[in-house]
Amino acid sequence: MTSIDHEVRKSWERIDAWCADRLRWRPMRAAADAGRLRAVEADLALTLPADVREWWTLDRVAADDWIPGGFAPVDLEEALETREIWLLVAEQEGDALDANGEPEPRFHPSFLPIALSPGGDGLVVDLRPGDSYGAVFLWDHETWVLGVPLWHSVAAMLQDTAHALESGTPALLHHTTHAGTQPPCVAVVDAAGDLTWSD
């Protein structure tokens, strides 16, 4: 196990322990095996960062809205299906220019969803080469604008979430200090044992 693998797994264990003590029963996301991940990388002609590979292989990951902003992890197959749908929508929309003559944003083949919100937005990992490789972005289904990364990696997302849950402090502080538009949010558990993130 590499240090990144350990970091991802340790952060998830912290999150899971916190949630297990406070939240009602939660559905689980299916884990992917290493062979399936290699096949996906070959099919998509993309290389997954180590923390993203570890993310998909984690077992017993809750599939409810525990990620800051109210996002629920999806399994690898749902991620691939969502990616195909969003690419089809982008293709059907065709190329268009905004008021400034700039190309309007479209879902890119090198984006891979990892979580979805009930409202239809997603968290995507950017797999394009460059500075944002591996970063986690909000994919707004209405604006299609990436903006500033929410986290610079999946490992950072899990660390931020674990810290916010354990300390009762806001998540997404790093994002907002870098001119991000998503507000910091704090975990709130109601009497029924449901978790929400409040601005």
Q: Where are the domains of the chain?
A: 3-90+104-198
pLDDT at 91: 82
List phi, psi (to 5°) of 138. -80, 130
| CA gap 102, 126 in Å, rounded | 21
- Which residues contact residue 173 at a Cβ distance below 8 angstroms, ignoring those fewer than 6 apart? 160, 184
Total-model pTM? 0.92
Find the distance separating the first CA and the last CA of the chain, reported in whole Å. 36
| Torsion-angle region of 70 (φ positive above 0: left; ψ -120 to 50: alpha; else: beta) | left
| CA gap 182, 197 in Å, rounded | 12
| CA gap 96, 82 in Å, rounded | 23
CATH architecture of 3-90+104-198: 3-Layer(aba) Sandwich (3.40)
| CA gap 128, 110 in Å, rounded | 6
Q: For every one of its 199 residues, what pLDDT tens digit does the chain have, with 9 covering 90 and above? A: 577 768 999 999 999 999 999 999 889 999 999 999 999 999 999 999 999 999 999 999 999 999 999 999 999 999 999 999 999 988 887 665 455 556 556 888 999 999 999 999 999 999 999 999 999 999 998 888 888 999 999 999 999 999 999 999 999 999 999 999 999 999 999 999 999 999 9
**Which DSSP string corresponds to 21-71?**
HHS----EEPP--HHHHHHHHHHHT----HHHHHHHH-SSEE-SS-BTTTB
* 3 state SS of 167: helix
